[in-house]
Amino acid sequence: EVQLVETGGGLIQPGGSLRLSCAASGFSVSSNYLSWVRQAPGTGLEWVSVIYSGGSAYYADSVRGRFTISRDDSKNTLYLQMNSLRADDAAVYYCARVPSTNPGYFDSWGQGTLVTVSS
């Protein structure tokens, strides 16, 4: 069974840094594309970043230069390093798997981890 479990969220001051983790089971992160999607309170879904199986990484304009996606194949875990956090980065962050056979959608999602940015 495919499972994704995010951790690392919490309260952080503006300008601070936070690293989110997403532990995967039931499949290998090295063989799949993985993504981060966020949802600010009471709003819709916003794509943040994707990392391909070959290691190429892509970002939404809103986070490029501040966020870094990576993975540790030995731990079967995905990460999101978030720097220079702003109030509008506050959201529930979901990790999601993208099928390598079709990069067009997210077929499995974690339960999400909440990031609050406030002084």
**Phi and psi angles of residue 88, each rounded to the nearest 5 degrees, phi first:** -80, 5
Question: Nearer Cβ to other proteins, position 1 or 13?
Answer: 1
Q: State the Cα–Cα distance between residues 119 and 104, nearest whole angstrom.
A: 38
Q: State the Cα–Cα distance between residues 56 and 51, nearest whole angstrom.
A: 6
Instruction: Kindly state the smallest distance separating residue 53's Cβ from other proteins, in Å.
Output: 13
Question: Nearer Cβ to other proteins, position 74 or 101?
Answer: 101
Residue 65 near other proteins by CB under 8 A: no
Q: State the Cα–Cα distance between residues 12 and 23, nearest whole angstrom.
A: 22
Token pair, residue 94, equals 């979901």
Q: Single out the residue of 29, 110, 115, 117 in contact with other proteins (rule: CB under 8 A).
A: 110
- Using CB under 8 A as the criterion, which residues of the chain lie in contact with other proteins when the complex forms? 35, 37, 44-47, 50, 58, 60, 94, 102-112
